[in-house]
Chain A
């Protein structure tokens, strides 16, 4: 993973979330308060301007993970702002303070990122949250033989990510706003799981090319 790819990842994510803003809000309207797409779009818009403001700022991976995290933390709001933001800020230390890292380090970074989200939100797989996509995806990457390129593994992962995301539909929410609905939360895909799947899609397109 290079700084350049990492930057592209967030720009892709910003774009994909913006394209899906209405759908994400609709998903959140069904089991939450209808703001998930709006929240993420607002914050990721601010992330995009990081590169417009100072396109030549040669940040290293560690600094960039912190910077993107800080921006999301201070501009998304809601549950997802705290989770994405603090998750990225804390995971930054896994990255080297240089412009590149090997695949193994990047997987470790993802593992830490998701671990922070789990810790902050106290959610487990099956609680109908973004963790239902994030955790199994990272675990799958960790379990698949490391001699295969990350690019190939990521590509193969895409289909599973879709299943993880769609799989939240049949679950009853135990965390977040949707949990207040009890059994009424069943039958709707979790908005945070859906947006997380977009992130994996971007990772594939940035690294897989």
Chain B
């Protein structure tokens, strides 16, 4: 294992310090915790947004703390969900008198730890609501299992819930908006090379030169099946067929599209994937109103990508276009420093 590290056990702590040093006008830490919160707190009376999960998904989640997105991000150990006391610290920091929305990705660990934190917050008289992101179509959706994972589509939830909260609507309305995103967003990803959790020292799986894993999540875990590597066009077609079938996308619909690198994919390769996604959408007469391309929700140094489509309707477009100012995503902001 070759990693840029000082002390493996201090990795998350050191990384949070580095982020705060690099983005001092955006971030600060809730003392004694792994919680990043806004340097300049949101106005009183607006709903707070808390997200979080294991570390290793950078720029998620700390990179999305700032105006128009999150109020606090809770970082667990690498790929391990954060603990309830830490989440509670995030909820406290994000609470400005109007309650807090928790954006949870559908992993057993995250769901349980956030649930316990919600109970703790209730004991303190802080009102919370939560949404569970489950956009990954690779996993079968069944009542009898854990259901689908939450992956890159989460960033659209951060963006839209964040914009709604900034507009001053109440907790219920922010939750409804976030749920509307979840109901209309689907993703799927693949890996060309695995990643190594620093504390573990070895990769979660190994692939030969000609193999790839289809249907991976964002924790370095193996996907739903292994196959021979294919050209970008075939991969794009495969992912989009799965996603659009699940979404029941029809020609004439409008979407926002996220082409997300998993951590070690050269941007030039991501651009090739993007071209093919574009060709598929054009052929199906689906218009893309918004495209994000880059690293939004990674899995350490995994090579691979995911594609996310969000069907746009109602006011989703408006909230997606609203200004935001965070370390990882800035739009529509005029600087006056």
- A→B interface (CB under 8 Å): 25, 29, 32-35, 38-39, 42, 73-83, 86, 120-121, 174-177, 179-182, 184
A177 touches B85 (CB 8 A): no
Q: Using a Cβ cutoff of 8 Å, how many contacts connect chains A and B?
A: 110
Contact partners of A33 in chain B: CB under 8 A: 79-80, 197, 204, 219-221
Instruction: Please report the C-alpha to C-alpha distance between residue A175 and residue B107 in the assembled complex, in whole angstroms.
Output: 10
Least Cβ distance of B106 to chain A in Å?
10
Q: Mark B113-137, 1 if CB is under 8 A from A, else 0.
A: 1011000000000000000000000
**Provided the pairs A33-B197, A35-B197, A76-B83 are in contact, do residues A176 and B220 lie with their beta carbons within 8 angstroms?**
no
28 contacts between A and B (CB under 8 A): A29-B204, A29-B205, A33-B79, A33-B219, A33-B220, A34-B79, A35-B77, A35-B78, A38-B199, A39-B77, A39-B80, A42-B77, A73-B84, A74-B85, A77-B76, A78-B81, A79-B81, A81-B83, A81-B109, A82-B109, A82-B113, A86-B112, A174-B146, A175-B146, A177-B219, A180-B149, A181-B221, A181-B222
Contact partners of A176 in chain B: CB under 8 A: 108, 146
Given contacts A34-B204, A82-B113, 15 further A-B contacts (CB under 8 A): A33-B79, A34-B197, A35-B199, A38-B77, A42-B77, A76-B83, A77-B54, A77-B83, A120-B115, A121-B108, A177-B107, A177-B146, A179-B146, A182-B139, A184-B222
Q: Is B246 an interface residue (CB 8 A)?
A: no
Least Cβ distance of A24 to chain B in Å?
11
B217 touches A73 (CB 8 A): no
A83 touches B80 (CB 8 A): no
Instruction: Please report the C-alpha to C-alpha distance between residue A184 and residue B205 in the assembled complex, in whole angstroms.
Output: 13
Least Cβ distance of B56 to chain A in Å?
10
B80 touches A179 (CB 8 A): no
Least Cβ distance of A56 to chain B in Å?
26
CB-nearest residue of chain A to B221: A33
Contact partners of A77 in chain B: CB under 8 A: 54, 76-77, 80-83, 109, 113
Instruction: Please report the C-alpha to C-alpha distance between residue A25 and residue B225 in the assembled complex, in whole angstroms.
Output: 22
CB-nearest residue of chain A to B119: A86
B200 touches A79 (CB 8 A): no
| B46-94 residues at the A interface, CB under 8 angstroms | 54, 76-86
Contact partners of B116 in chain A: CB under 8 A: 73, 82, 86
Contact partners of B82 in chain A: CB under 8 A: 77
Instruction: Please report the C-alpha to C-alpha distance between residue A34 and residue B80 in the assembled complex, in whole angstroms.
Output: 10
CB-nearest residue of chain A to B200: A34
Instruction: Please report the C-alpha to C-alpha distance between residue A73 and residue B112 in the assembled complex, in whole angstroms.
Output: 11
B221 touches A120 (CB 8 A): no
Contact partners of B219 in chain A: CB under 8 A: 33, 177
Contact partners of B79 in chain A: CB under 8 A: 33-35
Q: Nearest 9 CB-CB pairs, A to B?
A: A82-B112, A79-B109, A77-B80, A78-B109, A33-B219, A79-B108, A78-B80, A74-B85, A179-B146
- B→A interface (CB under 8 Å): 54, 76-86, 107-109, 112-113, 115-116, 138-140, 144-146, 149, 197, 199-200, 202, 204-205, 217, 219-222, 224-225
Contact partners of B80 in chain A: CB under 8 A: 33, 35, 39, 77-78
B200 touches A175 (CB 8 A): no
Instruction: Please report the C-alpha to C-alpha distance between residue A184 and residue B76 in the assembled complex, in whole angstroms.
Output: 27
A34 touches B108 (CB 8 A): no
Least Cβ distance of A100 to chain B in Å?
30
A174 touches B144 (CB 8 A): yes
Contact partners of B85 in chain A: CB under 8 A: 73-74
Contact partners of A32 in chain B: CB under 8 A: 221
Query: B224 contacts which of A25, A42, A80, A182 (Cβ < 8 Å)?
Result: A182
Least Cβ distance of B110 to chain A in Å?
9
Least Cβ distance of B224 to chain A in Å?
6
Instruction: Please report the C-alpha to C-alpha distance between residue A112 and residue B220 in the assembled complex, in whole angstroms.
Output: 35
**Provided the pairs A73-B116, A75-B83 are in contact, do residues A180 and B204 lie with their beta carbons within 8 angstroms?**
no
Contact partners of B138 in chain A: CB under 8 A: 180
CB-nearest residue of chain A to B79: A33
